[in-house]
Amino acid sequence: MEGIVTSLDSSPQAVQGAENAQGTSRGHGPQPVHATEAAKQIPPAAVARLTIYLRALNTLLSDGVERVSSESLAEASGVSSSTLRKDLSYVGSYGTRGVGYEVQYLSRHISAALGLTHDWKVAIVGAGNLGKALARYGGFESRGFDVVAIFDADQMVVGNEVGWLRVSDAADMEAVLQRTGANMVVLALPATVAQAVCDRVVAAGVHSILSFAPVMLQVPAGVNLRKVDMATELQILAYHAQRAQTPDQTA
């Protein structure tokens, strides 16, 4: 079966430092979020939108904004106010009527619910154009993801520097994953080898995988697998573009 991320981490580290929004609105001061609250089962679509809210909140923080209304945050995130409020209810953040949300507080609260208070160490398998671009991307660290290794099987590539990393031999993947403490792996591989590498990653104890390989991978229960297929997304985009350009034939 293919694993999909549908629930959030409930460990104490994931909720450390988070606060209870209802406690704040009642005037009793910030209260810690209990692990059971942060671990509520959240629909996958809501999880995806929470990441968008977090990005919008962090942009507001960088602009020096301290408070934001649900309407403004919803508009910045491309959703309705009712959708925003429902999504935030999953993590226990309701804001204060007439005042809105405290930006820094809500950002911390969502980060805790999404497990971003962990140290996430990411390894990339595949040092082709995509893998190298991902390894060089500077935006991961600010979001709590530290790229600690990149692998390739091509001996002409092994040893080359990519950003601040040196390409490791894919034959040594298990040992390097253990040494670096990587707990997430990105597969930037051809379809022909993706399943075999995925199996090795799972056997090495890494259960969070993001795959760019254009193939359906099979993983055991308990393994979280996310798939990004850019070709499929472009095909969907082409369909909608064609519909926009073609006169309605049903009239």
133 is in an annotated binding site: no
Residue 243, in any domain of the structure = no
Lowest mean pLDDT among 35-44, 121-130, 197-206: 35-44
Q: Are 189 and 97 found together in one domain?
A: no
Q: How confident is the model at residue 114 (pLDDT cuts 50, 70, 90)?
A: confident
174 versus 95: which is more confidently predicted?
174
Q: Are 142 and 37 found together in one domain?
A: no
CATH code at position 191: 3.40.50.720
What total number of domains does the chain contain?
A: 2
Which residues pair with residue 102 across a beta bridge?
67
So what's the pLDDT on residue 249?
A: 54
Q: Which residues contact 73 (CB under 8 A, 6 or more apart)?
A: 53, 56, 57, 84, 101
Q: Are 90 and 135 found together in one domain?
A: no
Name the DSSP letter for residue 148: E
Residue 6, in any domain of the structure = no
Residue 192, in any domain of the structure = yes
Distance CA 4, CA 182 (A): 19
Residue 2, in any domain of the structure = no
Pick from 113, 129, 155: which residue ends a domain?
Answer: 113
Residue 193, in any domain of the structure = yes
So what's the pLDDT on residue 6?
A: 29
128 is in an annotated binding site: yes
Helix boundaries (H) for the chain: 12-15, 21-25, 35-38, 44-62, 70-77, 81-89, 103-113, 129-136, 139-142, 173-180, 191-203, 230-245
Q: What does the pLDDT look like over 8-37, one tens digit per residue?
A: 333 323 333 333 333 333 333 333 333 334
Q: Are 95 and 57 in contact (CB under 8 A)?
A: no
Pick from 113, 141, 166: which residue ends a domain?
Answer: 113
**% of the chain surpassing 70 pLDDT:** 81
So what's the pLDDT on residue 30?
A: 36
Residue 34, in any domain of the structure = yes
CATH code at position 72: 1.10.10.10
Q: What does the pLDDT look like over 55-90, one tens digit per residue?
A: 999 999 999 999 999 999 999 999 999 999 999 988
Q: Are 124 and 61 found together in one domain?
A: no
Burial class (CB in 10 A: 0-12, 13-18, 19+), 251: exposed
Q: Are 67 and 159 found together in one domain?
A: no
159 is in an annotated binding site: no
Range of the domain at 210: 120-233
222 is in an annotated binding site: no
Q: Are 49 and 88 found together in one domain?
A: yes
Q: How confident is the model at residue 230 (pLDDT cuts 50, 70, 90)?
A: confident
Q: Are 53 and 139 found together in one domain?
A: no
Q: Are 61 and 127 found together in one domain?
A: no
Q: Are 144 and 226 found together in one domain?
A: yes
Residue 190, in any domain of the structure = yes
241 versus 247: which is more confidently predicted?
241
Q: Are 133 and 227 found together in one domain?
A: yes
130 is in an annotated binding site: yes
46: number of Cβ within 10 Å: 16
So what's the pLDDT on residue 1?
A: 39
38 is in an annotated binding site: no
Q: Are 146 and 213 found together in one domain?
A: yes
Dihedral over Cα of 126, 129, 132, 138: its sign = negative
Query: What's this model's pTM, rounded to 2 decimal places?
Result: 0.70
Residue 58, in any domain of the structure = yes
Q: Are 85 and 132 found together in one domain?
A: no
The average pLDDT across 190-198 equals 96
So what's the pLDDT on residue 67?
A: 92
